[in-house]
Copies of this chain bind each other. A is one copy, B any other.
Amino acid sequence: MGTHHQGTKPEVLALDAYIKLMRAADSVTSRAHLVLPEGLTLTQFAALEALFHLGPLYQSELATKLLKSGGNLTLVVDNLERDGLVLRTRDAADRRFIKVDLTPKGRRFIGALFPKIAASLTHEFAVLSPRDQLALARICKRLGVGRSRPAYATA
């Protein structure tokens, strides 16, 4: 490793782990993209999945779950709403809040899609032994500060 960059041992170790982590994430992401229906983005899928497994959420809650900015969520929800998959409802008690919920069409859509994506990711990760999958989860958990948890993994 590293005929080009000369660093200390800890540096070489960390940079190597870093780059492989990023490649793996990229790689898995792009392969996940291939399984999504034409026109659905990963973020849109993540939003639908959260609503599917957690029920209606305020936009700010959704932003927190997905680790995205509020401004971003405005656009993502705009597009999902345009496609008739979700519905915005202004909260009666506090008119600042906007509740986002799946439409029946959206529920059918994500309900049919999620199992396929789950199966595909499972297949993807099957190149790793269960032991390695556990190790990966444990190590990554320590790296990620562990903010919110994904819908299907939340109590």
| Interface presence of A61 (CB below 8 A) | no
Contact status B54-A152, CB under 8 Å: no
Dominant secondary structure of chain A at its interface with chain B: helix
| Interface presence of A93 (CB below 8 A) | no
Contact status B128-A4, CB under 8 Å: no
Stretch in contact with the other chain, from A33-41, A77-85, A99-107, A136-144: A136-144
Instruction: Identify which of B5, B13, B67, B139 contacts A130 (C-beta below 8 A).
Output: B13
A9 CB to closest chain B CB (Å) equals: 9
Contact status B25-A21, CB under 8 Å: yes
Contact status A121-B14, CB under 8 Å: yes
| Interface presence of A150 (CB below 8 A) | yes
| Interface presence of A153 (CB below 8 A) | yes
A4 contacts which chain B residues (CB < 8 A)? 53-54, 151-154
| Interface presence of A3 (CB below 8 A) | yes
| A interface list, Cβ under 8 A from B | 1-5, 7-8, 10-11, 13-29, 53-54, 67, 114, 118-119, 121-122, 124-128, 130, 132-137, 139-147, 149-155
